[in-house]
Structure 1
Amino acid sequence: MKAILKEIRVKKVISIVLLILCCLFLIYEIDSMRYPLTYLYNVRYAEGTSYNLAKKVLPLSVLENKTDPTKRDYSKLDKISGNNDDLISYYLRRPHTDYVRLKGSQTIRQTFVAKDDKIKRLQLFFHNPGSTSTAGRLTVSVLDSDGNKICSSSLSAGLTLNDTLTAFDFTQDSTAVNANRVAGSKVSAKTSDGYSLKKGERYTIQIKGDGVRASSGSVFGIYLAKGTYSGAELTVDGKSFGKTQLLCGVNYLHLSKTLLYFFFGCMLIALLLILLPLNHISEVLRRRVKNEKWRERIDVNRAVSRLMFVITPFFCYWLVQKSDGKGLRTIFRLKNIFFDFDGLMTITILIMIMAIFYLIFNRTQIASLLTTFLTFAFCMANYFLILFRNDPLIATDFSSIGTAMDVAANYTISFSKRSLWLIVMTLVFLALVLSLKSVRGLRLRYRAVLLVACGLWGGWFYGVVLNTNFLNQHGVFVSGFNAKGGYHRHGSVVGFVYTVKNSRIEKPSGYSVNKVKSIASKYTSDTTDGSATVSKKTPNIIVIMDEAFADFSLVGNVQTSGDYLPFYHSLKKNTVKGVLYPSIFGGRTADTEFECLTGNSMQFYPLNAVPYNTNIRSKMPSLAYALEAQGYRGNIAFHPGVRTSYNRNRVYPLLGFEKYISQENLKDPEKIRAYISDEEDFRQIRRSYEAYKGKGSSAPFFMFNVTIQNHSDFKLTSGYVEKEVTVTDGSLADEQTEQYINLAKKTDEALKNLITYFRNTDEPTMIVLFGDHEPHVGATFYDTLKERMTGASDVEKQLCKYKVPFMIWTNYDNDYASKITTYAASASDGTAHGRSAASSGSTSAGKSTNGKSAGAGKTAASGGTTSAGKSTSAKSTGAEKSANASGAATATAAKSAANNAAGDTDGLQISANYIGPYILKLIDGKMTGYDKYLLSLQKKVPVTSAVAYMGDNGKFYSATAGSKYRKYLNQYHILQYNNTVDTKNRVNDFFYLKNKSNKK
């Protein structure tokens, strides 16, 4: 004991404190350790066990088709008897042949004995060949021995899955769960709640019908098990079925005491190791060694420190792989570390990071601590980013740290079992390393060797890994659509390196300043004297980019109890509406803002880049500069968020804005949830306009506004929004979707007040409104819409997450509709690109310029009929064929229109980079050569974004796909590179207006 106390130092005290804090944290987060565990009554369902049982009678190729029942051969399955048969059927999602017919208001009750203390969901097999034609509703409840309801879940009978698992979830919306086919998914930190039961006591599952009726010629029922189970009793409307039972999985949230004991055991062992008097042990060993040379070398502390140093990269490798969801056997399988590219690359990078730290500090302890902490921070950053935005950490995120911290403050932090593994084991490892006494490392000459080795590796890494197709050649790819999938496939370290490689803005092929000048020579910038007065030719312009403003009728048939955008849909006179295709989904607002103001496209930027943070360091040509040069004043940028968000406080002046209003400038603003409301936002627009006009200026007014009311997330825990409209489409209804549409309704009400105000002003005024991106209401919503897009291409399906409304309204008569060019995009996405109102509308097909259509069809939503093939032009270009091909999609849009004014557009399809030139075109304003070029490009490539581009043939292509339009986009890339990267050689005459004094 004296030896222990004698060797207690500050480092050991800190290590012990770390362990104590870790212990307290683990106790506090004990419920986060729960994970799903399924029983077929009293028999535990373990997927691995079932798989091994199945292998005895089914070929491996059959098991690999677990999710495709049509490719399985069950001929040998019936040879198994007893409960194993039920386990395998459950595993393969293949029920038996016997089922109980369900109709009307029948009630089925099944008793079971609770095998754990928290229940999450029940999983049943239904026979429902009529699918959505089946009428009625099912309510599944769990009752205690006194008949009291503990929990329940309801689902439309028509949405039960035919001959496979249907989940009735007590903690989530069952409709959403089944629409996303996640009946057997693992529990996440967001869904770790359950309902308490008393383990070992008997409970009753009650399945109650309400008006259940199968479609004509079919039967609706619930499948039975083959095995018999003790303590289980089945009754239908009180009639006993004896020992026959339902084929039912009871899903519990299990708290693993073994894992809990393991964590506490690790902390206890670490505490004992920390308390070990290593110096005393060294002295004892020295006294027992007679060889003086060996005696001097005995230093247990140094030996342990070096051992921990050697272990560190492998421990960090485990951290990374564990955070990626890999199991222990998979992680440390030698072929995955040393004979697999991803594994070998990961361990090599970790070793070299540690070697660099060792080279700098020459201490094994410091190198181990820093490497471990850095790896842990990386893993936890991935965890939280996936939790918050469903995307991992990528290279360009480091330029948005300030904004990320602001946004994170509005999210609820929660932990999962996986994250607890990382936290507990990292703290234990750090405590062990920290408790050791630091010892000197390599001598100078050996450090020189290490320096050379690190230099060679660094040169190879930079020259080969980051500047060639080395990663691609080894099969590494991280998609911008699903970075999380790429990280899981290759490991988060390799995935992150891939994003680092892609974060560099590559010089386009064929780029030169002379090439830019050659292209620019065809488009001469206009000359202006810098003065103007308000008129229809130079109206006041207010551009509003509304946070997550979306009209779901543009992406599919989303039925609601009422129109949540009634005023927006009612706007017809002096209004142009269209679909805008942003480059982003659910976040990175500043990217759409950047495209709108500069005319540049995110297609030529790295994955998830934010130019506001990385690319704007000096004055940049913009819409604000163009309007100022031709006499517009005010030039106000307004965003009711944090002033420094996305670096706006530095960027806006560089884009030509004279004033920036942020939330810090607003006194006691009205808020909805944690964000300033759109009503308050639009009220500030009116105040700014009145303040400007109060100065007596006759110059037209310009203001650019980015709202914040509809910022994610939309969970009830982030603030309740009064529910005025509900989603009546059972497959799409969930908490976040309904929260969102009611937020959007408040935006619509605020828009009505804003339009009414400017409708009553004397000065000609234009209001441009569009969404920055669609809302992230959960993967279920968009996945369901994609499933409905039968016959659509992968690009078209992906674009259902990248469509927002675009509107231009004026308080004076205009002829803007005659300046629209429309294109016959594929109708397989279930939307109509023509204007469609609840009473009547039209859908255009083919290409139309200046109001002359090549072919049109009319949709009457009230009558539910569609006519096609009527041409308003003397010459037809095959519109009849196009209209017939899209008949199903148009009918779908017509049906939705009756309650939500579906597809409310004038056929305009646009991307954010064209907004500035398009506004100038409509008002016949002065244009830069770049504006003119973009309008010319728009005729050939009407839509271009980081996700896709559309040709004038109406077809969408992925952003990197080759086509006859690629040459136009490459030319665009060359011009944009000169404008945004090679700024020292920027051809300013092309990007800025000229004035009579030749000043730019």
Structure 2
Amino acid sequence: MQIKEILRKDRLWQAAFLLLTPFTAVWLMQLAYGTNPFAMAFPVLLANALCVALLFWLLCALVGRIAPCTIAVHIAAGAWGAANFYVNSFRGTPVQPWDFSALATAADVAGNYHLFLTWQIGLAIALAAALVIFLHPQRRKARLRLTGRRGIPLRLACLAAGLACLLFLLPTEKLGVKTDVWDPTGAYRQWGCLAVFLRNTEFLEVEVPENYSPETVDEILDETEPAQPAEVSVEKPNIIAIMNESWADFESYGNLSLSESVIDYVQSLDNTIFGHAYTSVFGAGTSASEFEFLTGNSMAFLPSGSIPYQQYVLGPTASLASILKAQGYDTLAFHPGERNSWQRDRAYPHLGFDTFKCGEDMDVPQTMEHGYVSDQSDFEQLIWEFEHKEEGKPLFLFNVTIQSHGSYTDPAYQAEVTITDEPGKYPMAEQYLTLANKTDQAFRTLVEYFQNQEEPTIILMFGDHQPSVEQGFLDKAYGVTQDQMTMEQYMGKYQVPYVIWANYPLPEEGPEVTSLNFLSLYLLRYAGIPFTGYQDYLWQLQQTLPALTFVGYVDADGEAHSHLETNDYTGLIREYQCVQYNNLFGGKERRSAAFDP
């Protein structure tokens, strides 16, 4: 009788831990992420628990010891929640499935981010430690073993239950789990860090556009009118395109009072076009902005958060570099960071660059700003490349800077630009603004150098995305909190400045608003370089839709729209999607004559 009673108690312990562990692990995960775990709807909690149970029950079946499996799963769940919290704090979005293809890039910059302890993460650590202590006594360990002949049926049940979880995991939307590509932070908070992450894997595959066919692409391109060229007074000028890390224009919203302007020199230049362009990323995702600018393709038609350099640019790909190379230009890419970041070392040759230089290849002395190569040194390298280029041959130089890369939490870096009405309240933002001011000063050096050169040269500088700084500062800059934003205000989060300057007369005024996939058209136009058929198509399209990004688009009247709308522009956008799909994924049916120079 006593033995049966003991066995009964053991079964109760085992059942309790096997059934409750997936739920308590999810609770710990959401706590570490910084949200209220009790706020989750039960179906959503169940969906995340099934994700955990899949691993936990299979692990118990394999190991046969519930106690260490319980500890391991709780620690892993808490670590996953904390990892998402920190990644979201540093770049503005939590961990996404495609981030695992960019681990090398993340490792390159990880040393410049500083971890900090929140009370939620501290509590999660304390609870995990308490669990370890609670399960340590030998009596409890013995009760939670699935060993011997008596444990075999339960181990088999764990194996079957773990495999059965797959039936519920794959259609997690049935349990109320949703994704939100515009607000992944909120999605992880509302529907769970693990279940939403798994649902996001659905976006890893590029869907064939509705009504797509190569013949449809032919019809679209046949209806395109060739763009009328601008009257440019020079032939084949040197072209320098600078994508400046996290360069933003927070002053344009009109809500900030700064101790000094951080963009005043750029705005004071003569013979200059200054405006704003919309990007498809916020806080991170530099290579997506590069891809849009260089190719004219839009992230709007690619999976959320995908990394084109690593997923799609796997062979020769038409770009600004290949077009200029066909026009007789030397094509050089320069980034003062690591060579393999975003796999640029593999992507750039496919895009048509003859040469790629990184930080270790620099020919000028390096000065640093908060741990990264300064824009001053970066621009001095551009001057060095100009002075050492082949005489009489035009140069196309594409430069991606790194000075203003996050994070902005270096305690040793002294902020020189402050927010006058609330100095010191937003240290990350003030550190960023100081860096932006140094960019403005460095650009002066570059322009003043080329003002004194005889060879015609045109320079474009634009931002890749806005920085991830304190949300309170962003709310102050935008003049509205994110939950109160209109579509137009929301797109403002994805707005960056651009400036085009030349040491010869620019032929015409430029756009006040554009997007990165259209911006290179203006650079070619002002350099007098003829368009390809695809660029003629894009030029015609942007007359109606001046800006189009992953986030949304702006029509010729300046009204912002979401891609969720169905309106008079929906047909045009679907045509763009078809043409782009043929360009990237058309294979043997790709209409090369329209895309390639």
Q: Scaled by the length of structure 1, what TM-score is found?
A: 0.53
3-state SS, counterpart of residue 711 of structure 1 = coil
Q: Deviations over 1:802-857 (max 9, x none)?
A: 2222121111123132xx4xxxxxxxxxxxxxxxxxxxxxxxxxxxxxxxxxxxxx
Q: Which amino acid aligns with 2:188?
A: Y
Q: Deviations over 1:870-921 (max 9, x none)?
A: xxxxxxxxxxxxxxxxxxxxxxxxxxxxxxxxxxxxx521100012233223
Closer, same or farther: CA 555–428 of 1 in aligned 2, 3 Å: same
Is the Cα–Cα contact under 8 Å of residues 535 and 764 in structure 1 kept in the other structure? no
> CA–CA distance in 2 between the matches of 1:562 and 1:327?
40
| Deviation of 1:949 (Å) | 0.4
Unaligned runs of 5+ in 1: 1-287, 527-533, 821-906, 994-1000
> CA–CA distance in 2 between the matches of 1:489 and 1:947?
21
Q: Which amino acid aligns with 1:587?
A: A
1:320 to 17, 26, 29: 29
3-state SS, counterpart of residue 537 of structure 2 = helix
Closer, same or farther: CA 550–298 of 1 in aligned 2, 3 Å: closer
1:458 matches 2:166:
yes
2:299: which partner in 1? 602
3-state SS, counterpart of residue 349 of structure 2 = helix
**Superposition pairs of residues 262-281 of structure 1, within 5 angstroms:** none
1:541 to 233, 239, 245: 239
2:334 to 638, 660, 668: 638
Q: Which has the larger radius of gyration?
A: 1
3-state SS, counterpart of residue 553 of structure 2 = strand
> CA–CA distance in 2 between the matches of 1:390 and 1:703?
30
Is the Cα–Cα contact under 8 Å of residues 253 and 478 in structure 2 kept in the other structure? no
Q: Scaled by the length of structure 2, what TM-score is found?
A: 0.87
Is the Cα–Cα contact under 8 Å of residues 283 and 466 in structure 2 kept in the other structure? yes
2:591: which partner in 1? 987
Closer, same or farther: CA 476–365 of 1 in aligned 2, 3 Å: closer
> CA–CA distance in 2 between the matches of 1:446 and 1:564?
66
1:584: which partner in 2? 281
Q: Which amino acid aligns with 2:469?
A: V
1:678: which partner in 2? 375
> CA–CA distance in 2 between the matches of 1:535 and 1:687?
26
1:743: which partner in 2? 435
> CA–CA distance in 2 between the matches of 1:652 and 1:729?
45
Is the Cα–Cα contact under 8 Å of residues 31 and 81 in structure 2 kept in the other structure? no
2:103: which partner in 1? 401
1:625 matches 2:322:
yes
1:773 matches 2:469:
no
> CA–CA distance in 2 between the matches of 1:775 and 1:323?
24
- Counting aligned pairs with the same residue, the percent is 31
Q: Which amino acid aligns with 2:370?
A: R
> CA–CA distance in 2 between the matches of 1:936 and 1:455?
53
Is the Cα–Cα contact under 8 Å of residues 324 and 491 in structure 1 kept in the other structure? no
> CA–CA distance in 2 between the matches of 1:809 and 1:595?
21
1:720 matches 2:417:
no
Unaligned runs of 5+ in 2: none
1:919: which partner in 2? 523
Q: Which amino acid aligns with 1:816?
A: E
2:537: which partner in 1? 933
> CA–CA distance in 2 between the matches of 1:298 and 1:446?
13
| Deviation of 1:344 (Å) | 2.0
| Deviation of 1:325 (Å) | 4.7
Q: Deviations over 1:46-66 (max 9, x none)?
A: xxxxxxxxxxxxxxxxxxxxx
3-state SS, counterpart of residue 717 of structure 1 = coil
> CA–CA distance in 2 between the matches of 1:384 and 1:940?
41
Q: Which amino acid aligns with 2:545?
A: V
1:942 matches 2:554:
no
1:691 to 379, 388, 392: 388
Q: Which amino acid aligns with 2:114?
A: T
3-state SS, counterpart of residue 388 of structure 2 = helix
3-state SS, counterpart of residue 980 of structure 1 = helix
> CA–CA distance in 2 between the matches of 1:974 and 1:450?
48
> CA–CA distance in 1 between the matches of 2:559 and 2:550?
16
Closer, same or farther: CA 461–515 of 1 in aligned 2, 3 Å: farther
1:493: which partner in 2? 194
Higher relative contact order by CA 8 Å / sep ≥ 6: 1 or 2? Answer: 2
2:93: which partner in 1? 391
2:183: which partner in 1? 482
> CA–CA distance in 1 between the matches of 2:185 and 2:480?
24
Q: Deviations over 1:536-571 (max 9, x none)?
A: 231111100111222333222433344433321221
> CA–CA distance in 2 between the matches of 1:778 and 1:414?
14
Is the Cα–Cα contact under 8 Å of residues 536 and 764 in structure 1 kept in the other structure? yes
1:663: which partner in 2? 359
1:348 to 50, 56, 63: 50
| Deviation of 1:390 (Å) | 4.0
**Superposition pairs of residues 41-120 of structure 1, within 5 angstroms:** none
> CA–CA distance in 2 between the matches of 1:931 and 1:446?
64
| Deviation of 1:452 (Å) | 6.8
Which structure has more strand as a fraction of its residues? 1
Closer, same or farther: CA 373–987 of 1 in aligned 2, 3 Å: farther
> CA–CA distance in 1 between the matches of 2:377 and 2:471?
31
Closer, same or farther: CA 402–320 of 1 in aligned 2, 3 Å: same
| Deviation of 1:738 (Å) | 3.3
> CA–CA distance in 2 between the matches of 1:327 and 1:519?
51
Which structure has more helix as a fraction of its residues? 2
| Deviation of 1:639 (Å) | 0.9
1:170: which partner in 2? none
Q: Which amino acid aligns with 1:914?
A: F
1:797 to 489, 506, 509: 489
**Superposition pairs of residues 248-259 of structure 1, within 5 angstroms:** none
> CA–CA distance in 1 between the matches of 2:218 and 2:414?
55
2:577 to 958, 965, 973: 973
Is the Cα–Cα contact under 8 Å of residues 277 and 498 in structure 2 kept in the other structure? yes
> CA–CA distance in 2 between the matches of 1:631 and 1:524?
26
> CA–CA distance in 2 between the matches of 1:327 and 1:702?
52
3-state SS, counterpart of residue 766 of structure 1 = strand
Q: Deviations over 1:342-368 (max 9, x none)?
A: 122122222223234456667656754
Closer, same or farther: CA 368–511 of 1 in aligned 2, 3 Å: farther
> CA–CA distance in 2 between the matches of 1:317 and 1:949?
37
Q: For the aligned residues, what is the CA RMSD?
A: 3.6
> CA–CA distance in 2 between the matches of 1:544 and 1:392?
28
> CA–CA distance in 2 between the matches of 1:793 and 1:390?
17
> CA–CA distance in 2 between the matches of 1:366 and 1:537?
72
